Structure 1
Amino acid sequence: MDCNFEDCNGFIKSIPIINEITQNTQLNFQSCLNEWFKSMSFEDYKKIKSFFADLEVDFFTEYMPFGGGASGETTEEEYRNFQRLINEGKISKLSDQQVYTLVSKAISPEVMAAYKFCVAKKTEACTHNPTDPMTRPNSAFKPTDAPNYGINYRVKQVGAYINITIWYVPYNETDTWPIVENFYVTDGVKCLAGCLKEKTKLDSEHVIVLERVDPKETIIVIDFDKTSVTIQLERDKVPPIKIQRFRINYNINEFSGDLLTCTLPQGYKILSGYKVTLMDTSGRVMGGILTGCFPKMANKWEIRLNGVSKSPFYISINAIYDPLNEWEVKIFKNSAKNSTSTNCEIEDGYILTGGGIDISFNDDSIRHEIGVNAFYPRDKKTWAVAINGQLTNQEWELSTYAIGLKKKGNIEGQINVSNDSQVWSFEINDHNLIPVGGGFIIEDSSSQLRDIIGIGPLDILPGGENTRGFAFSWYPSTGYAADSVFTKYVTSLKHPEMDINVLPGESLIYI
C-alpha cells in the first residue's frame, strides 16, 4: 500500500533547508534526504552540513564514513565518492532517531511530537483525514496522543500571573497559518505581554502573559480567520492559612547600640509583630527600652535597644506557616530624617497585616528620652507611626515598616477600631474575622512622654481561652493614663472558606 507523507513533511517544512529537501511529498524525510544527496552539489552539501552543525546535530558519520561527519572536513573528491555509493545503494538512509534528533532541535516540541507520531503511524496517520478546524474542539496537545490539528493551547498559572502558550499544527503542507482578527480579555485580568493584535499571523508558538487583578472567573477570547478560541479561567481559589504565634524571649545582660535579629523557623512568614511587657532586673514593668521593633525580612525580626540595658523582655510575632510557598509576604519601608511621624504604604494587590518602627539616633550608645504615641494602620494601605520626647538638639532617622500579604482570591483584610479608653482589651466579636495584628494611638493635651509596653493576644491570658482579640497596656512617665485618650486598632483577615487556623498558645524562641 502506497503512503502519502505530505502531512508528515508539512510539520517540518517551515525550516527553509528541510523545505527544499522535502519537495517530493510522496516520500518521508529520510528518503527525501537520500534522494536529495544524489543530485546535490558539493557547495549545497557544505551549506546543509553547516546548518546541521549549527543545530549541534552530528549524524553524518552514518552517511559519510570519511571526513569526520558534520564537524569534520570533507573534500570534494570524497563527496563525489559518497554520491556514487548512494547511487549504488551501498549507503542506507538515516534512521528515524537521527531525524528526530535533527527536527527536535529545529522546531517546537509540540510540532516535533506531531511529526514523530505521523512517521510512527505512516500508513494510518498519513492517510488520516483530520477533523475540520472549524468544528474540532480546542484542547492542549499531549505528545502521547495523536496530534491536535489546528489551534492548540496550554495554560500555566503561577501566583497572580498566567501564561497562555498557543500554537497551530497545520493539517498539511498547503495549510495556511491562522491570522488574528480579535483578542479580548474580561476585566478580571490584564494583559502584560504577548497581547495579540489584529492581523497577527500565528506561525510559531506564542506566549501571552496575563496578571489576575480580580479573583472572579475570567474569559479570554481569540478570534482567528479560521476559528475562535475561548479560554475560561476559574475563580481564583484561596489556599488555607495556618497562623503560629511566637514569643521571642530576650535575656540581655548588657547591650548597646547594635541590632538583634530573630529568624523564624523555615516555612514561616511574619504577619505582625509588636513589643510586649518589659521588666527591669527587679521585675518592675518598664517602658522606653526599645527604639526599634520591626521586620527586616519576611522571616526576620529586629529590635534596637534604647542605650545600655540589662532588662529581659520579649517580642510577640504572628506568622503564617507556608511550607508550600503559596503566600507572598512583602516588607515595605519608608524613612525620614528628624521627623516625629512617618507613614508607609503597601503596594496594590497586598493586604496590610502589621507594621514596625525604628528610631535610629546618631549616638545609639546613650539612653534617649523617647516614646511612641502612634503605631497603627491609618487605612487599609498605610501603617503610621509617631514619636515624642526630648528631641531638642538630636539627630535621628524615623523609619516606618508595613507588612503586606499578597491578596489571593476573595480573601479580605479588615481594620477594626475601638475608642473606649477605659477598657484595655479589644475583643473581635465577628467570628468571620481572624485578628492578626494590633496598633494604637495615645492622645493627650500635655507633652508627657508616652510609650506602649504591651500588646498581646487575649486567648493566652488566664481565662481568655475563647476570647479573640488583643490586650493593650501603656504608661506615661508622668501624669495618669486616665488623662489620655487611647485608641486601639486590630488588623484582621477574612477567608472566603473560613479556612484560617490559629494555633493555640505561643511557640517560644530564646535569644
Structure 2
Amino acid sequence: MDCDFRDCNDFIKSIPIINEITQSTQLNFQSSLHEWFKSMSFEDYKKIKTFFADLEVDFFVEFMPVGGGASGETTEEEYRNFQRAVNEGRISKLSDQQVYTLVSKAISPEVMSAYKFCVAKKTEACTHNPPDPVNRPNPAPEPTEGPNYGINYRVKQIGTYINVTIWYVPYNETDSWPIVENFYVSESVKCLSGCLKEKTKLDSEHVIVLERVDPKEATIVIDFDKTSVTIQLERDKVPPIKIQRFRVNYNINEFSGNLLTCTLPNGYKILSGYKATLMETSGRVTGGILLGCFPKTSNEWNIRLNGVSKAPFYISINAIYDPLNEWEIKTFKNSAKNSTSSNCEIEDGYILTGGGIDISLNDDSIRHEIGVHAFYPRDKKTWAVAINGQLTNQEWELSTYAIGLKKKGNLEGQINISNDNQTWDFQVNDRNLIPVGGGFILEDSDPLRDITGITPLDLIPGSENTRGFAFSWNPIRGLAADSVFTKYITSLKHPEMDINVIPEESIINI
C-alpha cells in the first residue's frame, strides 16, 4: 500500500540538499534517499557526503561510507560499484534512527519532533494488517507525544535585543502554510531584521530581531490568513546596582614621571572620580597639584601630576560592582588645543554619571600655575571643564572626559544643582535618588583658583546618614567663604529602589 508522505517531508525540506532529494510526495525520506542514490552522479554523491560530514552524522550503507568523520575517501570506480549494488537491491535503506539523527543535526528540535510524529502516524496508517482493536493489549500503550500543531514561537532576550523565532506545524497533509496579512510592533520596540511582510508564506522557521527602545511593555501582533498571534513582552527588568567607593592613596616620593594609573579589582566599573586632596606639612590644603584626573578605561583611572611634589595625596572613585557584566559603562573624550574650556557629550542611550579632565603641556617637569575652576555636569548629556592661571606663552591640550552608564529599563539619571554659597556641602534629600558623582564651578575673580576635593558626606565622621558631597577649593587670596560657587551632583534613580552603596571606602595604596 502506497502512502502520501508529503506533509512529513515538508518538515525537513527547508534544508536545500534534502529538498532536492525529497521530490516524491509518495515516499518518506528513507525511500527518497534510496531512490536518489540510484540515479545521482558521482559529483552529487560527494556533495551530500560532505553535507552529512559537516553535520557529524555517521552511517554506512553496506560497504559504502556516506558522511561522518569516520568516512574515508571513495573513488569514482568504488562509487559505481556501490550504485550498481543499490540498483540490484543489495543495499538496504537507511534506518529510522539514522534519518532522525541526520535531521536532528540540521533543524530545530521542534521541527524534528513534528517529523518523527508524522512518520510514526504515517507508518501506522500504511500498515497492511493493523492490529485488531479487540485484541489490543490492555492497558493500551502510551500515546506518542505529538508536536504543537499550528503557530509556535519562542522569545529570547539578550540585553536590549530580542529574538522571536516563529514556525508553523501543519495539522495534516492537506493543511496549507499560513500567509502573513499584517505585522505590527508597538513603539517600545524596533524591528531590525526578519520583519514580516504582507503575503509572506511561513513555510519554515523564521527569526525576527527586535531592539527595545523603551523599557515599558511591548506587543507584537502577526495576522495570518488563518489565525492571529499576539506576543507580549514584559517590562524590561533593571538589574540591581551595587556601588563601592574607593580611596586611592598616592605617595609620589616613590614615582618618576607624571602620569600614574590606578586599576580597580576585577568586576568593578568606574562611575565617577574626584579631584585629589593634598595635605602639606603645614596642614594647608593646596591646589594645583594635578593637571589630569580622568578615566583611562572602565576600571582604570589616570592622574597627571603638576610638576614634582613631596607630599602624599588621595583621590576618590565610585564604581559599580558588576561581576556578571550586566552593565555597560563607556568613557567619552573630547580635546581642544590651547583652550581654557571644553565639553564632552555622551551618546544617546547612556546616563551621565561623572567626568574627568586632562591638561597636557609641552614641559611636564616643572610646576605650572594652573587651576581647575569648573568640573561639572552642564546637562544630562554633557560634562564641562574650565581652567585658569598662568597660560601665556604656552602650548597645551585640554581634554574633557564623560562617563556614561548604558540605560536599562526605567533607570533614570538626575542632575542636582545648588547655588547656596553659605555651605560647603550639598545634601540630597530625595530618598529615591542615589548620589554617584559630584561637580563644582568657582566664579570668583581670583586669577588662580582650584577645586581640591569632592568627598561623600557619609564618609565624614558625624555625617554617616547624610547623602551628598562635601566640596573644598583653594583661593590664592582671601577666604574660601568669600567665593561664589555652584555645586552639582549626578544621581541615579532605580525603579525598584535597588541601589546599594557600601558604607565604607575600600583602600588602594599606590
TM above 0.5: yes
- Encode CA deviations 1:331-379: one digit per residue, 9 max, x unaligned: 1111111111111111111111111111111222221110011001111
Q: Find 1:82's aligned residue among 81, 85, 92.
A: 85
1:507 alignment partner in structure 2: 506
Q: CA 1:206–1:242 in structure 2 vs 1: closer, same or farther (change >3 Å)?
A: same
1: CA distance, partners of 2:252 / 2:433: 37
2:496 is matched with which residue?
A: 497
- For residues 297 and 198 of structure 2, what CA distance do their matches in structure 1 show? 45
Q: Is the 8 A contact 1:333 1:402 kept in 2?
A: yes
Deviations 1:72-111 (A, max 9, x none): 124375146403541xxx4332123332343345545542
Identity %: 79
1:93 is paired with a residue of what secondary structure? coil
How many angstroms does 1:223 deviate by? Answer: 1.7
Cα 1:403–1:173 change in 2 (3 A) is same
Per-residue deviation, residues 208-242 of structure 1 (Å, max 9, x unmatched): 22221111111011222232221111111111111
2 CA distance for matches of 1:65 and 1:53? 11
Equivalent residue, structure 2, for 1:485: 484
Q: How many angstroms apart in 2 are the aligned matches of 1:319 and 1:156?
A: 30
TM-aligned CA deviation for residue 51 of structure 1: 3.3
**What is the aligned partner in structure 2 of residue 450 from structure 1?**
449
Aligned counterpart, 2:239: 239
The worse-fitting range, judged by mean Cα deviation, of 236-245 and 55-64 is: 55-64
Aligned equivalents of 1:122, 1:320: Cα separation in 2:
60
1:386 alignment counterpart: 386
**Residues 34-433 of structure 1 aligned to structure 2 (within 5 Å):** 34-35=34-35, 37=37, 40-41=38-39, 44-46=40-42, 48-57=44-53, 61-65=60-64, 71-75=73-77, 78-79=81-82, 81-83=84-86, 85-86=88-89, 90-104=90-104, 106-119=106-119, 146-172=146-172, 175-253=175-253, 255=255, 257-281=257-281, 283-433=283-433
| Larger displacement relative to structure 2 (358-367 or 111-120) | 111-120
- Please name the residue that 1:468 is paired with: 467
Specify every segment of 5 or more residues in structure 2 that has no aligned partner in the other structure, as ranges.
Answer: 128-143
Superposition deviation, residue 53 in structure 1? 2.1
SS in 1 for 2:347: coil
SS of 1:211's partner is: strand
1 CA distance for matches of 2:291 and 2:272? 17
Whichever residue aligns with residue 97 of structure 1, its letter is Q
| Structure 1: unaligned runs, 5 residues or longer | 128-143
Question: Could you tell which deviates more after superposition, 290-299 or 16-25?
Answer: 16-25
Q: Is the 8 A contact 1:10 1:172 kept in 2?
A: no
Give the whole-Å Cα distance in 2 for the aligned partners of 1:166 and 1:18: 21
Aligned partners of 1:508 and 1:125: how far apart in 2?
Answer: 76
Work out the CA distance in 2 between the residues paired with 1:110 and 1:398.
59
Task: Report the CA distance shift for 1:488/1:18 in structure 2 as closer, same or farther (over 3 A).
Answer: closer
Aligned equivalents of 2:66 and 2:347: distance in 1? 63
Moved more, 105-114 or 306-315: 105-114
For the residue of structure 1 that corresponds to 2:211, the secondary structure is strand
Change (3 A) 1:74 1:101: farther
Supply the AA of the counterpart residue of 2:85. F
| Alpha-carbon distance between aligned partners in 1 of 2:388 and 2:408, rounded to the nearest angstrom | 38
The letter for the 2-side match of 1:231 is I
SS at 2:100 equivalent = helix
Q: Note the alpha carbon deviations across 1:281-303, whole angstroms, 9 max, x for none.
A: 55542211111111111111111
After TM superposition, the score normalised by the length of structure 2 is 0.87
**What letter corresponds to residue 451 of structure 2 in structure 1?**
I
Cα–Cα, structure 1 residues 29 and 207, in superposed 2: closer, same or farther, change >3 Å?
A: closer
TM-score (norm 1): 0.87
Task: Verify the 8 A CA contact 2:343 2:382 in the aligned structure 1.
Answer: yes
The RMSD of aligned alpha carbons is: 2.8
Q: How many residues align?
A: 487
Could you say what secondary structure the match of 2:471 adopts? strand
